[in-house]
Amino acid sequence: MMANHTRHILSIRQRLLLAATLVLGAFLGLTGLSLDKAFRSSTEEALNARLLSSVYALLAAAEEGHEGQLKMPDVLTDPRFNRPDSGLYAQVNLYPEGYRWHSGSALGQALSFSKYIAPGESESGRFKMPDREVMGLNFGVVWEDFNGRELKYVLSVAEDLEPIQEQIGTFRDTLFLWLGGAAVLLLLVQGWVLSWGLSPLREVEEALTEIESGRSDKLKGRYPKELNRLTSNINSLIQHAQARQQRYRDSLGDLAHSLKTPLAILQGIADRPGEYPHQTVCDQVVRMNQIVSHQLQRAAASGRHVLTQSIAVEPLVERLMKSLDKVYLDKGIQWHISVEPESHFFGDEGDLMELLGNLMENSCKYGKRQVAVTVTAAKSLYFCIEDDGDGIPDNQIQTVFQRGHRVDTRQPGQGIGMAVAADIVSAYGGQIEIGTSSTFGGAAVHVRFPEN
């Protein structure tokens, strides 16, 4: 128990909120990352395409020198090539050596990434320049002069990354602002959904507090169907507990009251010794014993309620039969047991055992040799216990049920089995009847329980 206390147990609300937050965070985070990546790669691709078209523009602008070699004009059509530090730079180099040209914009800073590559190939990437980062492209071409020499040029263009990075930064800021906003909003909605969804549970909790404090005696109000079974079971448990408490109280009261008369008689005997026969004391002791046993049994019968498991009847009848066989060995009881398969009793095992034990023992005790137990479970559970004894006369049927109940009944030497059986049956809302067995001629006790 102590170990459980030290470990903190999260409430359902905390669990749901925690899980929702984690899922939402992961989802929004991944969304942000993938959007960011997609935006960056599309921007870079667009830049690459622009660089390639700049290369084509350079080639288009190239002129022929006096020997037919490549010669770039001083001024290009795109003003950005001409304005120093414009962000767009171009350079043309002849390899292995010779002609070197750079655009006006690249004044004072050679495009250091430029290197020889085979004609017809191109190569692009991010490059560091002394004071900036650029996206650069090298493009190899071959140029034939008038003498038929093949001259290998590399055209290099570069564009400043700064404007693009600014663009990406702005996009990122906007993206995370929106996503963050959405996350906060969704969490708020989630919190509200949770408290709305869990509100019936909170109501149950409050209702239970009401019951605990004694202001209420059951869970009132209507609950969603997922909780209906729980709340109705709690209600029936409460009712059951109250009924049991009431029964205990009644039994205690009955017990005290019914013991008073024999006690008064014994008191009288104690006050005037020698005036009463010994038998009177014995009678009173028997009577008190009956009262006590009866009230004990009655208080213990747990009665019917919804949360009981089902008890298979057949094995129980079997066990009782074997036990009684031992006790009544001399009689050599002949049993006629017929229990419908799958007969189940919904209630306490002890109650069923007490009921059948008392009835079956009565038959063993008062019957001559034949005892029959029939159980059917067609619609409701039905027991019939018969024997071949003398039976119970009609005028005594009431008294066997009442034995031990009332203050003025006393039948020394006779058991209270039938009265106990009747109490158990009535605790389950069933019926018990005494008749005559048509097969064996003795008593027949019929017990019928209500349908489930």
Cβ 239 to other proteins, closest distance in Å?
25
Distances in whole angstroms, Cα of residue 272 to Cα of each of 7, 120, 265, 266, 281:
70, 139, 11, 10, 13
Question: Are 224 and 54 spatial neighbours (Cβ–Cβ below 8 Å)?
Answer: no
Residues at the site binding other proteins, with contacts judged by CB under 8 A: 285, 289, 293, 296-297, 300, 319-320, 322-323, 326-327, 329-330, 349-350, 353-354, 356-358
Q: Which is nearer to other proteins, 43 or 293 (CB)?
A: 293
Q: Which of 356, 412, 419 is nearest to 392 (CA)?
A: 419
Question: Are 434 and 443 spatial neighbours (Cβ–Cβ below 8 Å)?
Answer: yes
Question: Are 298 and 421 spatial neighbours (Cβ–Cβ below 8 Å)?
Answer: no
Q: Which is nearer to other proteins, 105 or 295 (CB)?
A: 295
Q: Which is nearer to other proteins, 50 or 410 (CB)?
A: 410
Cβ 223 to other proteins, closest distance in Å?
38
Q: What are the helix (H) ranges across 272-312?
A: 278-300
Question: Are 335 and 317 spatial neighbours (Cβ–Cβ below 8 Å)?
Answer: no
Per the DSSP assignment, residues forming a β-bridge with 443 are: 436
Q: Which is nearer to other proteins, 226 or 330 (CB)?
A: 330
Reading across the β-sheet that carries 88-95, which strands appear in turn?
A: 100-102, 88-95, 150-160, 132-144, 122-129
Cβ 432 to other proteins, closest distance in Å?
17
Strand 70-71 versus strand 63-64 pairing type:
antiparallel
Cβ 306 to other proteins, closest distance in Å?
23
Cβ 289 to other proteins, closest distance in Å?
6
CA distance 383 to 451: 14
Per the DSSP assignment, residues forming a β-bridge with 150 are: 144
Q: Which is nearer to other proteins, 271 or 330 (CB)?
A: 330
Cα 292–Cα 316–Cα 396 angle in degrees, nearest 5: 45
Which stretches of 119-246 are assigned E, i.e. beta strand?
Answer: 122-129, 132-144, 150-160
Q: Which is nearer to other proteins, 13 or 331 (CB)?
A: 331
CA distance 228 to 218: 13
Cβ 256 to other proteins, closest distance in Å?
20
Cβ 246 to other proteins, closest distance in Å?
22
Q: Which is nearer to other proteins, 270 or 327 (CB)?
A: 327
Cβ 200 to other proteins, closest distance in Å?
41
CA distance 257 to 332: 43
Cβ 323 to other proteins, closest distance in Å?
4
What are the phi and psi torsion angles at 345 (to 5°)? Answer: -110, 130
Q: Which is nearer to other proteins, 417 or 430 (CB)?
A: 417
Q: Which is nearer to other proteins, 257 or 322 (CB)?
A: 322
